[in-house]
Amino acid sequence: MAVQKLTIAKALNDSLRKALETDPKVLIMGEDVGKLGGVFRITDGLQKDFGEERVIDTPLAESGIVGTAIGLALRGYRPVVEIQFDGFVFPAYDQIVTQLAKMHARSLGKIKMPVVIRIPYAGGIGAVEHHSESPETLFAHVPGLKVVSPSNASDAYWMLQQAILSDDPVIFFEPKRRYWDKGEVDVEAIPDALHGSRVAREGTDITLAAYGPMVKVCLEAAAAAAEEGKSVEVVDLRSMSPIDFDGLQASVERTRRLVVVHEAPVFLGVGSEIAARITERCFYHLEAPVLRVGGFHAPYPPARLEDEYLPGLDRVLDAVDRSLAY
Amino acid sequence: MTVESTAARKPRRSSGTKRAAGAAGARKTAAATAQPHDAEPQLVQLLTPEGERVEVADNPDIAEFAPFVADITTDDLRDLYRDMVLTRRFDGEATALQRQGELGLWASLLGQEAAQIGSGRALRDDDYVFPTYREHGVAWCRGVDPTNLLGMFRGVNHGGWDPKINNFHLYTIVIGSQTLHATGYAMGVAKDGADSAVIAYFGDGASSQGDVAEAFTFSAVYNSPVVFFCQNNQWAISEPTERQMRVPLYQRAQGFGFPGVRVDGNDVLACLAVTRWALERARRGEGPTLVEAFTYRMGAHTTSDDPTKYRRDEETAAWEAKDPILRLKAHLLATGGADEAFFEQLEVESETLGKRVREVVRAMPDPDTMAIFENVYADGHALVDEERAQFAAYLASFEGGE
């Protein structure tokens, strides 16, 4: 059966399995990805079926994981690396930014870096410090990297396939609080392009742009707004580098208003770039300034405060109201 | 052969001296400059600074390594000498070109020719090299045209050669990063079932980097066929080795579970022997080795620093007496391995090389402006495409505009 109802976690697991089956050069690497199947079980059962040479438990050393993945890619392999949690990627940040991102350019195109770095990211699961962060801007800012985040099971399945097939390094942010959300996955479909946005809900009065875990919040906000007679369009950006400005522009030209929503701090975030570019592109279409809803310029708070920190339905609807008030 | 038994048998390897272990008490940090590695180092030496061969009978500790150069003929010795002389000539030319404003920067290898030529000539074609930014002699051994090394220092590219042609990776500037790339590559070699080996070059300063420690960890636990070749040239820009370590560097390997050897880095024959020995271990599936080539950077770290500000003339002079090229010349002369005609011919060859390097560098064109946007991504990227188009339109707006 081509269409299955899967959780995002299972869709990712199936996607990895498919990649391992399809290409013998694909490797899975990371801490606890083998017997345990990863702390979120995304690699569950893969080592059992593909062996320790394909699904590699690594020492607890993030720079080492990414640095050796670079070496394996130089040898012709396609490593898919798991960083256990968002806040743990920073020991590997040097290897990602100074080496992985630049290898293709500084070799004048002679070297390709087909490395995927999977990062369970963002908050909402009541975790301790360093387990709930949204560092996507720090990667999207780096030339040479592609940065994406699926919001649903179908995208989880297909975007991971596409990321693994890409000859460029891809930072693959998995919205960990959505791992258990179910959705339909057509494993025989022709998927959307990895870098393209998707209109998740059509509307005429205002556009909400989001990605990853915030898409669901925006869809709920749109449903709530509809009860008040407001027609809200939701665009799932899917990719933060590149950003599909053409798709977003088309939506904003229809609705004439835009609110960008993400969990990461608003200051210098993905929303800032979108606000600037959409203002350039749509200046004469806009009825209101582009507004942003997101995290504060503060460390991610203790879990008991995260419901206040994370953009929820009310903060999104408040921004919708502010935009519509212009 | 287990690592433990190897380490226990040979005194030149990391045998975990009690003196070194635990030497650093919590309240003794002020005394950190008077550590064991200040003492005259024990090292594998096959050719003395005076150019005399060291015999196994005189020094049984070299017995394991000496057979690895038993096949070296007088012709081979002359070739090694030629490699070192031409590399030094090239390096000197590059330094001069920097002074003349043709290069933005140069990292000289002066003094490290033996370490690089000895280890570089130990490699097979199918071995893979991960250099820092100073491995001009190793590049020479790999057949990389030396003028290709100058592009990044002139500022026309970040590399300038295809790593896969010579199995010689691009120079890596961030300190120690390439040791992990070498380890990963070696993991791939093992997965492929190949019997080639990988060598990672780095310096004494890099040994302080976490990446180097992680490379040691990964290569040890995966038993990867990689040789870590550290050229301990005593100085990391202005920081002496005392600021990097409290125990002799080669001993560090034992803590990771593989052997470490200290070799006379100014002895090309010993460097060749020890590297061959380490590469053979890798090929046999016995895992990584740390080779510490004890040597000295005679020049500046790069043309940007001034070593007279941080090190003593007496120290430099003491190392001049250990010059790698002079000692092989003394040996060749003493043994009749080469005559004056050989040295004169080599001088001519050196000048020819220097002239060619000068001409090629001066003729090196600046890259095309639009190269800024090339090869950022393999699969393309909408933002790069947009900015390329915008910048091209901007540049085009000047044409015929006056």
Give pLDDT tens digits for B225-246: 999 999 999 999 999 999 999 9
pLDDT tens track for B35-70: 444 445 689 999 999 999 999 998 999 999 999 999
pLDDT at residue B26 in the model: 39
**Strands across the sheet containing B128-130:** B128-130, B198-203, B226-232, B289-294, B260-264
CA distance A259 to A238: 16
CA-wise closest residue to B53 among B270, B252, B233, B228 = B270
pLDDT at residue A279 in the model: 98
Is the Cβ pair A59, B221 closer than 8 Å? Answer: yes
CA distance A10 to A133: 23
pLDDT at residue B41 in the model: 62
Indicate the DSSP class of residue A169. Answer: -
Chain B contacts in chain A segment 90-119 (CB below 8 A):
91, 94-95, 98-99, 102, 104-113
Q: Which of B170, B174, B188 sits opposite A76 (nearest CB)?
A: B188
pLDDT tens track for A153-203: 999 999 999 999 999 999 999 999 999 999 999 999 999 999 999 999 999
Tell me which H or E stretch contains A294: strand A291-295
CA distance B328 to B343: 12
Residues facing B229 on adjacent strands:
B201, B291
Residue A240 sits at the chain B interface (C-beta within 8 Å): no
Q: pLDDT-derived band of residue A1, with 50, 70 and 90 as boundaries?
A: low
Contact list, B384 vs chain A (CB under 8 Å) = 143
What residues contact residue B304 under an 8 Å CB cut-off, 6+ apart?
B105
Q: Which of B185, B214, B375 sits opposite A74 (nearest CB)?
A: B185
Tell me which H or E stretch contains A241: strand A239-241
Burial class (CB in 10 A: 0-12, 13-18, 19+), A314: exposed
Average pLDDT in chain A = 97
- Strand, helix or coil for residue A68: helix
Kindly report the three-state secondary structure assignment for every residue of B86-104. HHHHHHHHHHHHHHCCCCC
pLDDT at residue B160 in the model: 84
pLDDT at A63 over 80: yes
pLDDT at residue A161 in the model: 98
Is the Cβ pair B188, A167 closer than 8 Å? Answer: no
pLDDT tens track for A279-293: 999 999 999 999 999
Burial class (CB in 10 A: 0-12, 13-18, 19+), B153: buried
Residues facing A254 on adjacent strands:
none
Q: pLDDT-derived band of residue A217, with 50, 70 and 90 as boundaries?
A: very high
CA-wise closest residue to A135 among A39, A270, A42, A236 = A270
Is the Cβ pair B181, A68 closer than 8 Å? Answer: yes
Q: Which of B162, B188, B376 sits opposite A144 (nearest CB)?
A: B376
pLDDT at A249 over 60: yes
Residue A73 sits at the chain B interface (C-beta within 8 Å): yes
Which pLDDT tens digits describe chain B residue by residue (402 residues)?
Answer: 333 333 333 434 444 333 333 333 334 433 344 444 444 568 999 999 999 999 999 899 999 999 999 999 999 999 999 999 999 999 999 999 999 999 999 999 999 999 999 999 999 999 999 999 999 999 999 999 999 999 999 999 999 899 999 999 999 999 999 999 999 999 999 999 999 999 999 999 999 999 999 999 999 999 999 999 999 999 999 999 999 999 999 999 999 999 999 999 999 999 999 999 999 999 999 999 999 999 999 999 999 999 999 999 999 999 999 999 999 999 999 999 999 999 999 999 999 999 999 999 999 999 999 999 999 999 999 999 999 999 999 999 997 654
**Structure tokens belonging to residue B347:** 């001088």
**Structure tokens belonging to residue A276:** 């600037």
Range list of H helices, A113-261: 136-140, 153-165, 214-227, 245-255
pLDDT tens track for B124-160: 999 999 999 999 999 999 999 999 999 999 999 999 8
How large a percentage of chain A has pLDDT more than 90? 99
DSSP secondary structure, B274-305, as one string: HHHHHHHHHHTT---EEEEEE----S-SSTT-
CA distance B111 to B307: 14
Closest CA–CA distance from residue B147 to any residue of chain A (Å): 16
Contact list, A74 vs chain B (CB under 8 Å) = 163, 169, 181, 184-185, 188
Q: How many alpha carbons lie under 13 Å from residue B116 in its C-beta half-sphere?
A: 32
A104 catalytic per annotation:
no
